[in-house]
Amino acid sequence: MDVKTWTFLIVGVTFALYICIAIRSRAGSTRDFYVAGGGVPPLANGMATAADWMSAASFISMAGLISFKGYDGSVYLMGWTGGYVLLALLLAPYLRKFGRFTVPDFVGDRYASGTARLVAVVCAIFVSFTYVAGQMRGVGVVFGRFLEVPVEIGVVIGMAIVLLYAVLGGMKGITYTQVAQFCILIFAFMVPAVFLAIMMTGTPVPQLGFGGVLQGEIGDRIANGETISLLDKLNGLHAELGFAPYTSGSKAVIDIFCITMALMVGTAGLPHVIVRFYTVPRVKDARLSAGWALLFIAVLYTSAPAVAAFARTNLITAVEGAQYAAADPSGGDGVTTPDTKVLPDWFRNWEDTGLIAWIDKDGDGRVSYRAGAAFEGKLAFTTGPGDEAGRGSHGERLVSNAPTPGENELYIDKDIMVLANPEIAQLPNWVIALVAAGGLAAALSTAAGLLLVISTAVSHDLLKRTLVPTISERNELIAARIAATAAVVAAGYLGINPPGFVAEVVAFAFGLAASSFFPAIVLGIFSRRTNAAGAVSGMVTGIGFTAAYILYFKFVNPDANVEENWWFGISPEGIGSIGMALNFLVTTVVSRMTARPGDEVQALVSNIRIPAGAGAAHEH
């Protein structure tokens, strides 16, 4: 069977599975809809949290990002896992004991303030929307690339599926589809990773092969008779071609420090992750499910850097110095010498999809891969993907961009590292189809979790707790479903017509979450003295400062976005950690200058600090 048939089959089966789960787990009450009735077992919640957390970016882009950044890419690995330690130790058990439905619920009740609740609602909706647009786009891209349907139709199909299980089942439907989606995405990520590890390093465990010696089918060819570890070889290749060493950083230490901190704290402050811990029966289950969640996430997050190093080594050795087309295709005698090294077939396939491009600057018909950009600006081909006419003298697709003076002739999109792996390792067609289904599972599970946060923020925080407190249970549930539908449609629209800034903003959602929610929640639990005036001024200062710094360097004056202009050498990606520190400072100082919170709040703090009674706590 060809790739397309396999893809339709596997994607079709997984979608049918999601729909079956949706029909079996309809929500009957607002409690079902918001927190799956509070009865999710910790192991299942761990899987659901892992799928909720790992988005299209984790699945498709992260390994590629690390592949190009080497050590500097570690910020994502540590940032997106270390946050779970903060979540498990500082937030999850206490929020579970508190036992309401949302993050703004906690902020509003703990600070006994409608203003604090409203600030939290606005932050939650803003953070979730920027995030979800990227997911819908990811769904569209996977459909476009693997099933050859237009991106717009891909987004609409994705919307229809999410709509079905998010609107029918709410959190209950989402939880059990996320469990299924986790299994699919982790299997789809690990199969090519294991094959690649065997072929490059002769061991089926990517995490071990990563530090091992080059051997096996591809590894032997690269090592060329030498006994050399993969990482030593990779560092050697980098030095040869003028790239920074793979295993040590080129960014300033302070910037690495601040970016990692912002990502960790931001992860712990993301509402769609926090809300998952409201769905388990007891406080001890909340703690345990954070452990399961991180264990499941770590499977992918420790394999991804190994895949990154495998793919990088393989890529460099496959393309550097290779001829685009065999010099004498008709009269070849079949003898290969270094002079007749030719680009592998996958190069042309991905050139057609626009993820890779080559400009023959020196006219020798061979690829020179060096540090630096190959050409100016955003890639633009002069002809369509399959066109035979209008190609370069070697058969390559020509680009209209102006070449840079540097020696590098190659453009490579980072996403290719995961998407092309099955082809690079010459795996069977069903593996390629599996990667497509895995990418879709990753994107859909995250999108559904975010959409639920948005609809809950509208129906519960805004309507029930702020505008119409008298709303009946039945009407609140209807409102939640309408809000979920509206959110899906809005997200789909953003997926089809992505505003240019979405990709930029998603990366900053962490900084914004770190500088707003995290201090307000942590201080609300650990400091009795913190009051509404402190929390509100802290959140506003933190998110205001962080947003202003990011807006200035990214949108107002992007030309100034270089290290010399950054405060203390901290990039906009890392500024959230300074925003968080400011928030902590302002909250504490303002709280000391104003009145201590009253007895009712103190009793609430006493209650959330002990696990006993969590079962009763949600009988509000």
Residue 405: Cβ-neighbour burial (10 angstroms; 0-12, 13-18, 19+):
exposed
Query: Closest by alpha carbon to 412, among 345, 352, 343, 356?
Result: 356
Residue 287 makes contact with another protein by CB under 8 A:
yes
- Looking at beta carbons only, is 48 or 264 nearer to another protein? 264
**What is the Cα–Cα distance from 237 to 232, expressed in whole angstroms?**
9
Q: CB of 454 within 8 A of CB of 487?
A: yes
In this structure, what token pair is assigned to residue 117? Answer: 């609740």
Restricted to residues 295-334, the positions that interact with another protein (CB under 8 A) are 295, 298, 301-302, 305
The interface region with another protein, picked from 134-142, 172-180, 386-394, 595-603 by CB under 8 A, is: 595-603
- Looking at beta carbons only, is 142 or 294 nearer to another protein? 294
Interface residue with another protein among 191, 316, 471, 614 (CB under 8 A) is 614
Size of interface with another protein, in residues (CB under 8 A): 62
Residue 160 C-beta: closest distance to another protein, Å = 36
Residue 294 makes contact with another protein by CB under 8 A:
yes
Written in H, E and C, the secondary structure of 540-566 is: HHHHHHHHHHHHHHHHHCHHHCCHHHC
Restricted to residues 35-74, the positions that interact with another protein (CB under 8 A) are 66, 71, 74
- Looking at beta carbons only, is 71 or 552 nearer to another protein? 71
Interface residue with another protein among 29, 203, 207, 323 (CB under 8 A) is 207
- Looking at beta carbons only, is 594 or 607 nearer to another protein? 607
- Looking at beta carbons only, is 268 or 543 nearer to another protein? 268
In this structure, what token pair is assigned to residue 312? Answer: 């990088």
In this structure, what token pair is assigned to residue 190? Answer: 């690990």
Residue 525 C-beta: closest distance to another protein, Å = 11
3-state secondary structure of 612: coil
Restricted to residues 243-282, the positions that interact with another protein (CB under 8 A) are 247-249, 253, 256-257, 260-261, 264, 282
Which is it for the CA torsion 370, 376, 377, 380, positive or negative? Answer: negative
Restricted to residues 516-555, the positions that interact with another protein (CB under 8 A) are 528
Question: Which residue matches tokens 């505008």?
Answer: 467
Residue 595 makes contact with another protein by CB under 8 A:
no
Interface residue with another protein among 339, 388, 616, 620 (CB under 8 A) is 616
Query: Closest by alpha carbon to 581, among 555, 545, 620, 549?
Result: 545
- Looking at beta carbons only, is 370 or 528 nearer to another protein? 528
Interface residue with another protein among 291, 365, 392, 544 (CB under 8 A) is 291
- Looking at beta carbons only, is 283 or 506 nearer to another protein? 283
| Per-state percent for the chain, helix, strand, coil, to nearest 5 | 70, 0, 25
Residue 207 C-beta: closest distance to another protein, Å = 6
Residue 610 makes contact with another protein by CB under 8 A:
yes
- Looking at beta carbons only, is 253 or 595 nearer to another protein? 253
Neighbours of 400 (CB within 10 A): 11
Residue 596 C-beta: closest distance to another protein, Å = 10
- Looking at beta carbons only, is 40 or 147 nearer to another protein? 40
- Looking at beta carbons only, is 280 or 319 nearer to another protein? 280
**What is the Cα–Cα distance from 347 to 413, expressed in whole angstroms?**
12
In this structure, what token pair is assigned to residue 541? Answer: 């200062």
Residue 220 makes contact with another protein by CB under 8 A:
no
Residue 528: Cβ-neighbour burial (10 angstroms; 0-12, 13-18, 19+):
middle
Q: CB of 200 within 8 A of CB of 310?
A: yes
Question: Which residue matches tokens 């990366």?
Answer: 507
Question: Which residue matches tokens 């926090």?
Answer: 274
Question: Which residue matches tokens 């396999």?
Answer: 6
Residue 117 C-beta: closest distance to another protein, Å = 23
Interface residue with another protein among 81, 102, 421, 531 (CB under 8 A) is 81
Residue 385 C-beta: closest distance to another protein, Å = 36
Interface residue with another protein among 36, 47, 77, 132 (CB under 8 A) is 77
C-alpha dist (Å) from residue 193 to 59, 89, 209, 421, 466: 12, 32, 10, 8, 49
Interface residue with another protein among 48, 56, 237, 283 (CB under 8 A) is 283
Residue 204 makes contact with another protein by CB under 8 A:
no
Residue 316 C-beta: closest distance to another protein, Å = 17
Q: CB of 37 within 8 A of CB of 176?
A: no
Residue 171 makes contact with another protein by CB under 8 A:
no
- Looking at beta carbons only, is 130 or 313 nearer to another protein? 313
Which is it for the CA torsion 496, 354, 432, 3, positive or negative? Answer: positive
- The H or E element spanning position 596 is none
- Looking at beta carbons only, is 401 or 591 nearer to another protein? 591
The interface region with another protein, picked from 225-233, 236-244, 355-363, 389-397 by CB under 8 A, is: 225-233
In this structure, what token pair is assigned to residue 9? Answer: 């089959």
Residue 231 makes contact with another protein by CB under 8 A:
yes
Residue 221 makes contact with another protein by CB under 8 A:
no
Q: CB of 167 within 8 A of CB of 484?
A: yes
| String of DSSP letters for 474-500 | HHHHHHHHHHHHHHHHHHHHHHHS--T
**What is the Cα–Cα distance from 27 to 20, expressed in whole angstroms?**
14
C-alpha dist (Å) from residue 111 to 37, 121, 425, 542: 26, 14, 56, 18
**What is the Cα–Cα distance from 20 to 14, expressed in whole angstroms?**
10
Residue 611 makes contact with another protein by CB under 8 A:
yes
Residue 112 makes contact with another protein by CB under 8 A:
no
Instruction: Say which residues have a Cβ less than 8 Å from residue 542's Cβ, sequence separation at least 6.
Output: 515, 516, 519, 579, 580, 582, 583, 586
Residue 589 C-beta: closest distance to another protein, Å = 21
Interface residue with another protein among 9, 41, 202, 232 (CB under 8 A) is 232
Residue 614 C-beta: closest distance to another protein, Å = 6
Residue 425 C-beta: closest distance to another protein, Å = 21
Residue 539: Cβ-neighbour burial (10 angstroms; 0-12, 13-18, 19+):
buried
- Looking at beta carbons only, is 208 or 478 nearer to another protein? 208
Q: Could you list the residues that contact another protein (CB under 8 A)?
A: 66, 71, 74, 77-78, 81-82, 84-86, 88-90, 93, 207-208, 210-213, 229-232, 247-249, 253, 256-257, 260-261, 264, 282-284, 287-288, 290-291, 294-295, 298, 301-302, 305, 528, 599, 602-603, 605-607, 609-617
